[in-house]
Amino acid sequence: MCQFYPRPGDYGYPLETQDPQYTLYVNEEEGIYDHSEGVEAGYCRNPSWPSKTVVHPAPSHDGAPTFVAYSVFADTLENSETAVRPLRPPLGIAIYDTTQNAHPARSARLARAVFDRTSQYRQRRDSRPDRIEVITLPLSLSLTDAERAEICARHHEKEARSRMLMLDYGEAVSWFLPGPIMEWQYARKIFAVNRLDDNGNDEVEVAAWEESLNEAENIVEEKARWNPQASPGSFLTIEWQPRKDAWQFRLGSAFDPKKDREMVEYCYGPEALGHELMEVTAANSVYYSHFVGDGVLDFLLKKARLE
């Protein structure tokens, strides 16, 4: 049973403030699921050094070119699905390339660059493995940030659902797209690149936006937050599906649709992306120990097949 996430009613944390997605394990005593099946399906192991980053196509419910990056053992046959699936982390982070000139080759490059160059951020609080997925979704320059966020959110919801319904159970595990585990305010979080100053040039060895992903000094990161236009690109942090039952407990007032938003989006320069990703991966140990280890993921996958 989980030791990291409060059980219903424990520690003064009211049952009604908890997201059902993360309290389903209370049914374990009823024999609803057996989390050993998920382990047999191939939950990932953390590759030891030396390791390497692999990048390859990922599933897409509508054919949008999608690429994934993650770490495997150095001697892994990266062109073999049988070899890489057990090493593919069931914790994926979705990043949309919504720039007007978004194309598959750059999405693959973006996936590798983000995975490699933000690793120190993502593993600073928790070194458990994750994967970065980049979805090619070119959108018009005329769209507002809110409109762009809405399109990406709706696309992500459909993609997450389609992954859960994959016929092969082990494949569904390895391609799962979770929401932020310990985030009390919103149940879903993704990212969307809305500008990259590369002029569509894929031949340059290292683009300015790639260099900007490296670990930056605090002052550089702060500038990227309050003046993203000065950076060689920008991205949106998109959060939605508010956990309305938690509003009263955490803020002292109920969710108010007149002042509280169903979806929020924040625009930053790429120098701030590493820190934003760190906020997502900070609870990785809870994800693997509870969400995976205690069988919540297994339960959700089986439940999706019955709906």
What are the beta bridge partners of residue 193?
A: 97, 235
- Ramachandran category for residue 289: left, alpha or beta (phi over 0 → left; psi -120 to 50 → alpha): alpha
Continuous H helices in the chain: 36-42, 81-84, 104-117, 119-122, 145-164, 169-174, 208-211, 218-226, 244-251, 273-281, 284-286, 296-306
Q: What is the DSSP letter of 24?
A: G
Token pair for residue 305? Answer: 């097949």
C-alpha span between 303 and 94 (Å, rounded) = 23
8 Å CB contact between 296 and 263: no
DSSP, collapsed to helix, strand or coil, labels residue 104 as helix
pTM score, whole prediction: 0.84
The answer to the question of residue 62 being in a domain is yes
Token pair for residue 76? Answer: 């892994």
Check residue 251 and give its pLDDT. 81
The answer to the question of residue 3 being in a domain is no
C-alpha span between 69 and 54 (Å, rounded) = 6
Burial 175-209 (b: 16+ CB within 10 A, else e): bbbbbbbebbbbbbbbbbbbbbebeeeeeeeebeb
Domain tally, the chain: 1
Check residue 106 and give its pLDDT. 95
The answer to the question of residue 4 being in a domain is no
What are the beta bridge partners of residue 52?
A: 72
The answer to the question of residue 115 being in a domain is yes
Burial of 13 (0-12, 13-18, 19+ CB in 10 A): middle
Check residue 57 and give its pLDDT. 97
DSSP 167-211: SSHHHHHHT--PPPSS-SSEEEEEEEEEEE-STT----SS-HHHH
DSSP, collapsed to helix, strand or coil, labels residue 220 as helix
- Ramachandran category for residue 160: left, alpha or beta (phi over 0 → left; psi -120 to 50 → alpha): alpha
CA 233, chain centre distance (Å): 20
The answer to the question of residue 31 being in a domain is yes
The answer to the question of residue 2 being in a domain is no
C-alpha span between 11 and 14 (Å, rounded) = 9
Through-space distance between the first and last CA atoms of the chain, rounded to whole angstroms: 26
- The candidate with the shortest Cα–Cα distance to 237, out of 295, 180, 179, 189, is 189
Residue 124: give the domain boundaries.
Answer: 10-306
The answer to the question of residue 265 being in a domain is yes
8 Å CB contact between 186 and 280: no
Question: What phi and psi values does residue 133 have, to the nearest 5 degrees?
Answer: -115, 135
Consecutive 10-residue averages of pLDDT for the chain (307 residues): 28 34 33 35 56 96 98 92 91 97 96 96 85 98 97 98 93 93 89 86 80 86 93 96 88 89 96 93 85 89 89
The answer to the question of residue 5 being in a domain is no
C-alpha span between 3 and 55 (Å, rounded) = 35
Rg for the chain, CA atoms, rounded: 19
